[in-house]
Amino acid sequence: MAEAKGAPKLYAQLISSAPGAFLAKQFGLPQPEKLRRYQPGEPPLPGPVLLGGNGRLVEPIRNLLSDYTFAEPSDTKFGALVFDATGITDPAGLEQLFTFFQPTLRNLAPSGRVVVLGTTPEEAGSVDERIAQRALEGFTRSVGKELRRGATVQLVYVSPKAATGLTGVESTLRFLLSAKSAFVDAQVIRIGEGDATAPESWDRPLAGKVAVVTGAARGIGATIAEVLARDGATVVAADVPAAGDALTQTANKVGGTAFALDVTAPDAGEKLAAHLLERHGGADIIVHNAGITRDKLLVNMDAARWNSVMGVNLIAPRKITDVLVEKGALKEGGRVIDVSSIAGIAGNRGQTNYGASKAGVIGLVQATSEALADKKITVNAVAPGFIETAMTAAIPVATREAGRLMSSLQQGGETVDVAETVAWFANPASSAVTGQVVRVCGQSMLGA
Ligand code: NAD
């Protein structure tokens, strides 16, 4: 993993010193919390779940999560607050949110979780219900900005046609109600009507699956390879031939294989398809992580910068997925996971090429998720915010500090935060999650 070794995390260092922490408190400056992250064997949450609301989801959820500990409203510490808001069918009913959260929110543990469940507004049964359900988005995004100490909030819209057992929702709830979603904050996730089959083990949901990760030699890609392997997948780690030793290291670390591949080569898709079919009988998961930046103000940009960024970040994922599907090298029921960026949502000065390519990735997800639905292939994207890698270590120091602090969690994320989100999309039980773009940005103010 290309962590930004020795990169000056000036503010974090100052704040973690005793005088620094004292001054920060006096002046109301942000004090980043050390986020709780996944450790095998540790409980998913820092305390019990308080489950509230009176909609169609509350009882099925209690059954699905029967291995979680549930709390009583009179308890004084909660690891998570989960509210089923599907019973709210008109604007006046939104008072239920106030009644449930106002007295309980202050008792949420550090790195605690808030999950609000609603009905997909476009599928609501009446005008009043649609208004009320859409209102949940403003509520959750505002709660995200009020939460402190590493706690996060998400809104999950569930199709009213979802089967009664809610099997399609389970993988998402288990991800959100765990330390794996540490840097995912204030996201709106839509879950379709499909059923899903729970994996034999939630600890190794990818057992027996083959996953390709591009750009796997370092940074986010190397960590994605590690996390998918941890979850049981056989990993094909791909990167440019020049990545050499670093790529071999990733492959060895994860017990997988290295595959030298420049994703922009004209025959990249064909080469990868042939390799996957010959060695593995096809792949189940492809993660298009390879990405580059070539920043310049548009007025100073040359065509080479424009074309290389577009070629790696957008044109290659589009072409490679197409070829893999056409050749049957990505199996039915497969997973395509793209890597976008908050720069593709918010735009960024000096990044017209990068911003366009990463926004194009969102279009790619939306279009191909529909086109590949008949093959039961899901297509989703992560949109990382500020993640500590070689890419962000190259940003000028002041901008870098600002990037870390301008989010509700008041810090940068780690590569593992992106990788855990990829692993949730990759889970076979996430078959009802498609066409989604989930930011991994600690509720960055950029583009929020
Ligand atoms: P990185 O530069 O550390 O790693 C990128 C990897 O992609 C490298 O190993 C590189 O060799 C490989 N690569 C580049 N061109 C390739 C090609 N033509 N074929 C095959 N491999 C190629 O970058 P990172 O920070 O780990 O970023 C990974 C992804 O996440 C990128 O798509 C990036 O745009 C995205 N992203 C990163 C951040 C962040 O904060 N680091 C934020 C938003 C999005």
Q: Considering only CA atoms, which of 142, 129, 164, 277 is closest in space to residue 210?
A: 277
Q: Is the C-beta atom of 387 inside 6 A of ligand 1? A: yes
| Ligand 1 pocket: which of 223, 312, 389 to mutate (most atoms within 8 A of CB) | 389
Which helix H or strand E contains 135, and what residues bound it?
helix 127-146
Give 320's contacts (C-beta < 8 A, 6+ positions apart).
214, 263, 268, 269, 272, 286, 288
Question: Tokens 């027996």 identify what position?
Answer: 208
Distance CA 190, CA 167 (A): 14
Identify the pLDDT of residue 6: 36
Phi, psi of 111 (to 5 degrees): 55, 25
Is there a contact between 239 and 286 (Cβ–Cβ < 8 Å)?
A: no
CA of 174 to the centre of ligand 1 (A): 28
Please list, in sequence order, all residues whose beta carbon lies within 8 angstroms of the beta carbon of residue 436, skipping any fewer than 6 positions away: 189, 190, 365, 380, 381, 425
Indicate the pairing of strand 78-84 with strand 108-119.
Answer: parallel
Q: Can you give the pLDDT at residue 276?
A: 98
- For ligand 1, is residue 444 a contact (CB within 6 Å)? no
341 C-beta closer than 6 A to ligand 1: yes
Residue 289 alpha carbon to ligand 1 centre in Å: 6
Cβ–ligand 1 contact at 291 (below 6 Å):
yes
Instruction: Give CA–CA dist 50/441, Å, rounded.
Output: 26
Q: What is the pLDDT of residue 80?
A: 98
pLDDT of 19 = 57
The model's pTM: 0.94
Distance 291 CA to ligand 1 centre (A): 4
Q: Where do the domains of the chain lie, and which CATH numbers do they carry?
A: 49-191 (3.40.50.720), 210-440 (3.40.50.720)
**β-sheet bridge partners, residue 157:** 118, 190
pLDDT tens string, the chain, 448 residues long: the values are 333 333 335 556 655 665 555 555 555 556 789 999 999 999 999 999 999 999 999 999 999 999 999 999 899 899 999 999 999 999 999 999 999 999 999 999 999 999 999 999 999 999 999 999 999 999 999 999 999 999 999 999 999 999 878 999 999 999 999 999 999 999 999 999 989 999 999 999 999 999 999 999 999 999 999 999 999 999 999 999 999 899 999 999 999 999 999 999 999 999 999 999 999 999 999 999 999 999 999 999 999 999 999 999 999 999 999 999 999 999 999 999 999 999 999 999 999 999 999 999 999 999 999 999 999 999 999 999 999 988 788 888 888 888 888 999 999 999 999 999 999 999 999 999 999 999 999 999 988 7
State which of 214, 239, 249 you would mutate to test the pocket of ligand 1, scoring each by most atoms of that ligand within 8 A of its C-beta: 239
Where helices occur in 181-330 by DSSP H, the ranges are 219-230, 244-253, 268-280, 303-310, 316-326
The pLDDT value recorded for residue 404 is 87
Find out whether the beta carbon of 315 lies less than 6 Å from any atom of ligand 1: no
Q: Give the catalytic positions in this structure.
A: 354
Q: How far is the CA of 446 from the centre of ligand 1 (A)?
A: 20
Q: Is 231 in the pocket of ligand 1 (CB under 6 A)?
A: no
Give the separation between CA 104 and CA 93, rounded to whole angstroms: 19
Closest-lying ligand 1 atom to the alpha carbon of residue 391? 25
Are the C-beta atoms of 139 and 132 separated by less than 8 Å? no
Q: Which residue's entry shows tokens 């029921």?
A: 333
First-to-last C-alpha distance (Å) of the chain: 28
- Provide the 3-class DSSP secondary structure of residue 329: coil
DSSP-assigned letter for residue 314: I
Q: How many angstroms does the Cα of residue 331 sit away from the middle of ligand 1? A: 25
344 lines ligand 1 (CB under 6 A): no
